[in-house]
Every structure is written in C-alpha cells, then in structure tokens.
Amino acid sequence: MRIEPLPGDQKVLLGLSESELESFAVSLNQPSFRGRQIHDWLYTKGAKNLDEISVLPKILRKQLGELDVKVGRLREAKRVVALDGTTKLLLSTEDGENVEAVGIPTAKRLTVCVSSQIGCSMGCHFCATGKGGLERSLATHEIIGQVISIREAMARRPSHVVFMGMGEPLLNVNSVLSAICSLNNDLGIGQRRITVSTVGVAKTLPKLADLAVKRLGRTQFNLAVSLHAPTQELREKLIPTAKGYHIDTLLKDCRHYFQITGRRVSFEYILLGELNDHLQQAEQLADLVGGFQSHVNLIAYNPISEEPFKRPSRNRIHAFKHVLEQRGVAVSIRSSRGLDQNAACGQLRRQNLQIL
C-alpha cells in the first residue's frame, strides 16, 4: 500500500484511492468501511486534519496521530482575487515552502492551474517561476491539495485542471501521473479535461504515453508543448534548456506521441511584442507544426518586472493568428485573466519571497 512520506517521516492520506484507504483501515484492525469514510471526508468534504473526520472513533483518530499520519492538506497563506474573478492562492507546504494555484472561472467551467514543482529549473527568461531556481518537486498529495483548496476558496466544483503553473511536469512525472489518477478517480475530473504542459525535456515524450498507460490504464489527458519560437536559434535565447533539445527533435517526438495516443498535441506560443510576433515568424511556425493533427494556443505575454519583454498589441496578435489560419493551422487566442493582479506564473510566490 502507498503512503507518501512527508518531511520527518510523517505519512499522508490525501492521494490514496478508496481501495487503498480500505486496505489501510483493515491493516489497523478496522472494518474496511472506515477507509470509505476517510475517502469521503478527504475528497468530498475536504477535511484538513484528522479531528475534522468526526465519523471516526476518537480511539482511531488517536491511533492515527500516534502513527504520525496526516491528512496532507496545504495551508492557505495568501489569496488574491482579480476583477474578473480569477483567484490565485499561495499555499504553504508542511516543510515551509510556498506553491501557487490559480482558479480561472467562466460561466460554464472552472479551470484550476496547478503547480508540479516549487520553483523551476528550466530558466525560461520570460517566466517569473524560474527566477529563483528549483526548490523541489511536489508530492501527489500536494498537487491534489491545490485543486481542493481552489474548490473551497471559490465554492465551486472544478471542471478542468491544467498543469501549467510552477515547475516542469515532465521532471516530476511520477507524481503528476499519480495526481491525474486521483483527480480522475477520486475527484471525478475526466482525463480529457486535464492538460499537462511541458516546455520540452529530452527523451521524456517518447516514454510518456507508455508510462501513462502503465500508471493510468490509458492515455487520454491533453498534452501542451510550449514552443514560444519558430526557430532553434530564437528558442535557445528564450529557453536555455532548448540547447540540449533541438526543435526538430522535439517536433519529431510530438508526432510520435500523437501516433501512439491518437491525442492531438497543442502548442503554446507566448507572443512577445516585436520579438517573436512578426508575420514571417507566423509563417515559420505554420511550416513547423504542419503535417499532423495539432493546435496552436497564442498567449499574450504577461509582463514581469525583471525582464524587458513587451506585451504585443491586439492588432499584432490577430495578424499573427490570421497568417496561421491562412496556412491551415488550427489556432486560438487564450484570453488573459487576472491581469490586474499579476497574472504570470510564479509572481505571487516571488513577491512573497521578496517581502520575507
């Protein structure tokens, strides 16, 4: 049975399935239905600690405490709500680190943007997350806890989850896949409503589909690859780690992933004013992603104070999109949310670190 370690050899329950919790209860000489009760209080009622699971006998809660078992929830350290309702949470972990989660509401859906790591080692120049480097990867329960925290903060059931927050998901693939399994089975969020976003890590994409089948039984979640440049030269200037993963190899791996899974690959492209938003670059991008089923998401840059990049004008964004459409590329413009409250990933954590 899987009980995830926390710092200090504690144990956590969040992230365990109903059957695993039943087995855990039986291992403590309790009836299996105790495991089902714990599951309900973890995932439906959102218990933050053992004392809140009032249906459990006090003697069992005492026993769990003596075993140093924890629920595994994150603590809300700060909440920022934008004018459009976008809600960003700064959440504290058991070992005193901070991680961001964002709830993005529309009339018909609530998307939760979750982090997979504390900080990031990829060092993309336009991203606030990587400015402080990587602290560590998140455990499964710390990823699941972000979704539950947003659900509580916004009093609304999440419909979609995107791994587009802090960190590189493919450098924490085991926890990410375990989290997807729990999101699907324990919180009822279908795989097709879950997206994993990667900037590209050499030798990981060819293995991802096979690993997902082994861990999840199928590969139905969405894959989004952050390109941000139509050429290797420009990509290396924006993404230092691209030097070890040529853009041609990355696209080859994306085609291989599509052939294995049958799932369309999305390409994320942050438009940086007068840097990668020229019409010629749109033509280059169309040539790059053409030839297999894919989709391009154009994202207007959200400025951060440490970098000189500019947000492109509305006219340049739509002109870029028009070129792609003329070349037969499926393309959309992602609406910017929470601009009045520093929408870029990692900004809230970075501001908090600067204050400390």
Q: Active-site residues: which are they?
A: 100, 345
Distance CA(77)–CA(89), nearest Å, equals 8
Distance CA(267)–CA(200), nearest Å, equals 11
Q: Which residue has the tokens 């459409």?
A: 325
Segment (H or E) for 196: strand 194-198
Distance CA(76)–CA(87), nearest Å, equals 12
What is the signed CA dihedral for 78, 82, 88, 90, rounded to 10 degrees?
-20
Closest CA to 158 of 143, 147, 149: 147
- Is the CB of residue 212 less than 8 Å from the CB of residue 187? no
Distance CA(97)–CA(118), nearest Å, equals 8
Tokens of 342: 């520093």
Residue 260: CB atoms within 10 A of its CB come to: 16
| Biggest CA pair distance of the chain | 70
